[in-house]
Amino acid sequence: MSADIDTEAVLANASEDLLSISAIAADLADDVDGTRRSVALALSRMADGVQLLVERALDDWEALKLMRAQAKV
């Protein structure tokens, strides 16, 4: 990853990637049965959970940027 990419862009891209991973795993779960279905659903749920954490970090980052901007005024 390039050092000049800002944190907000990294978090936004990670969030989108996690949504894609979740969708792929959920779609795969529709095509398999048994243990493989359970694994695919677990992967989808794990990606959803991590995506929520990334969204929280993104919200915190945006709040920090806003506070910094207000402090400069």
| Domain definitions of the chain by residue range | 14-72
Give the pLDDT band of residue 4 (cuts 50, 70, 90): confident
34: left (phi over 0), alpha (psi -120 to 50) or beta: left
Tell me, what's the pLDDT at 3? 74
Between residues 1 and 18, which one has the greater pLDDT? 18
Tell me, what's the pLDDT at 55? 95
Kindly state the average pLDDT of the residues 14-41.
96
User: In this model, does residue 21 exceed pLDDT 90?
Assistant: yes
